[in-house]
Amino acid sequence: MKYVLSTLFFITSLVVFSQPNLLDVKGKKQGEWGKTYPKSKNYQYRGQFKDDKPVGTFTYFYPNRKVKAVVKHDATGNRAVGNFYHENGQIMSIGIFRNEKKDSIWMNFGPSGRLSTTETYRMDSLHGKKTIYYIPPDLMDKRQIVASVYNYENGKVEGSFTEYFDDTNVKKTGQFVNHRRHGEWITYDIGKQRLMLERFKNGQKHGWFIGYVDGKEVNRMYFHYGNEVKGEALKELMSQMKAKGIHPNE
């Protein structure tokens, strides 16, 4: 009888501890976990926890049961590689998580499978280079042509910016300071000649804006902290700046 009771206790224990979504005595997630969509038996995700940390492979699903993402965690749960998918099955994003936050370089793809952007993360914020690519209309064209390159610091655009034509020639250059356009921004035509010189101060148009045709100046406008100034008001402002030793573009 004692042997039978011991066996029953062992079997019961196995049944209990094989159940999903269990917390241990310390309230930590252990073993298999899963979550379904509201009013549905279809899973949102399934995976394993150890001491409240995800381990092994987590699979995420769209409501129609198609795989949305596969995230593979290391044994400690501190690092994971994520593969995310469009509903048509094409890869959408590939990247690394550290402590469940995006880290290092992530690659993003459109529904056709073409590379659309690469982004650099630190602690879940954009930090470093972000590159945007042209998506060729011809699906057989496998070239990866850069459309623009930004730089980020702690989630904000900072530093140099470059935009390109699809023949790789430079279309526009400029700088961001504190997430705002600042200083000179230059736009070029397809023939590599200047088309426009713009000036900004803390995100506002400020200074002389100059337009070009065939590389030669054809017109200019003056902006003062976001507002265009012209006519007699411009003459008066220029006179005041000269008297104070202030350059119009400062």
Q: What tokens were used for 168? A: 């790789």
Cα–Cα distance measured from residue 15 to residue 92, given in angstroms and rounded to the nearest whole number: 39
pLDDT for 6? 42
**In 3-state terms, what secondary structure has residue 2?**
helix
At 143 the pLDDT is 87
Residue 146's pLDDT is what? 97
Number of neighbouring beta carbons within 10 Å of residue 139: 10
> pLDDT tens per residue, the chain (250 residues)?
444 334 433 333 333 445 689 999 999 999 999 999 999 999 999 999 999 889 999 999 999 999 999 999 998 878 999 999 999 999 999 999 999 999 999 999 999 889 999 999 999 999 999 999 998 888 788 889 999 999 999 999 999 999 999 999 999 999 999 999 999 999 999 999 999 999 999 999 999 999 999 999 999 999 999 999 999 999 999 999 999 999 999 9
The pLDDT value given to residue 188 = 98
Give the pLDDT score at 177. Answer: 97
CB 175 within 8 A of CB 188: no
Question: Which pLDDT value is given to residue 5?
Answer: 39
What is the predicted pLDDT for the residue at 210? 98
Q: 225 and 204 in contact (C-beta within 8 Å)?
A: yes
Q: Is the dihedral of CA 14, 20, 24, 28 positive or negative?
A: positive
Buried b (16+ CB within 10 A) or exposed e, 50-61: beebbbbebebb
Tell me what pLDDT residue 123 has: 96
Q: Measured between alpha carbons, how far is 113 from 68 in angstroms, rounded to an integer? A: 15
